[in-house]
Amino acid sequence: MPTLADVVEVLESAYDPRWAESWDAVGLVCGDPSQPVTKILFAVDPVAAVADEAVSWGADLIVTHHPLYLRGTTSVAATTFKGRLVHTLIKNDIGLYTAHTNADVADPGVSDALARAVGLTGPLVPLSPAADDPRRGLGRVGSLPAPMSLRDFARQAARGLPGTAGGLRVAGDPGREVRRVAVSGGAGDSLLGTARAAGVDVFLTADLRHHPASEFIEAAADGDGPALIDAAHWATEWPWLADAARIVASGLAAKGINVETRVSETVTDAWTTTAECEETT
């Protein structure tokens, strides 16, 4: 019978915990390494809807991208939503494992899956290579098979990513031709300068703010720098789940272990609806 320890070994050979940022909290959150695992659910967020999905599917393990306790805790009492989640998992013999910034910088990692989802083809290189191994790193740079307008690329990206309430926001001339593209799953603010230095035509990421985006667009209008596409944080990381599920299943199969994997389609982006401003007459 495959155990949680077998699965963790495969996860850590693909997403080495040593690659995680020092502020991060990755690895096994709950579960006994000796417990049997035959069904693994992959999800972006460790939230109640995902735990409920794991219970009803009969999962033995949830692998999430985001940590449950990024800043630590002194209690897992069922008096908070996080404590209740831990109780749900333990009562149902479900383990929880997190691969976060170590999955971002892996090869292949979170942004490889994002790049393919939005239509980049050919080789991908890290936007910000890791110091110890340039094949790994944050973000990816690649190309579209042929130039297209920013408007058409945004539509293609929207089709390639899972739907969310907010959709995509685009900054820049919609008619601008784009071909070289940088992407980074999750919050990409810190890579704006790197994307500009990389000379790409457009940078697609999430969680962008007004001032950096405004300055980028002013500079782009002067012919200096990429257009921006801001997608839902959850949507930019979701494509990685299928990659991770495949890597885990094939890594276990190589050891003669068969598991069932499932990618959660529960939308757990924080933004759940939008409202149009009413026209005033």
Which residues contact Zn ion by CB under 5 A?
186
> Which CB atom, from 44 or from 157, has the smaller least distance to Zn ion?
44
**Shortest spacing between CB 186 and Zn ion, in angstroms:** 3
For residue 40, the one-letter residue type is I
| Ordered DSSP codes for 230-266 | EE-HHHHHHHHHHHHHHHHHHHHHTTT---EEEE---
> Which CB atom, from 142 or from 186, has the smaller least distance to Zn ion?
186
> Which CB atom, from 37 or from 168, has the smaller least distance to Zn ion?
168
**Shortest spacing between CB 65 and Zn ion, in angstroms:** 6
**Shortest spacing between CB 237 and Zn ion, in angstroms:** 5
Cα dihedral sign, 241-250-94-5: negative
Residues 199 and 278: their CA atoms lie apart, in Å, by 40
**Shortest spacing between CB 70 and Zn ion, in angstroms:** 11
**Shortest spacing between CB 173 and Zn ion, in angstroms:** 29
Cβ-Cβ contacts under 8 Å for 202 (sequence gap 6 or more): 150, 153, 172, 178, 181, 182, 226, 227, 228, 229
> Which CB atom, from 111 or from 261, has the smaller least distance to Zn ion?
111
Cβ-Cβ contacts under 8 Å for 114 (sequence gap 6 or more): 140, 183, 184, 185, 204, 236, 237, 239, 240
Residue 28 CA, chain-centre distance (Å), reads: 18
> Which CB atom, from 62 or from 150, has the smaller least distance to Zn ion?
62
Please identify the residue of the shown chain whose CB is closest to the bound Zn ion: 186
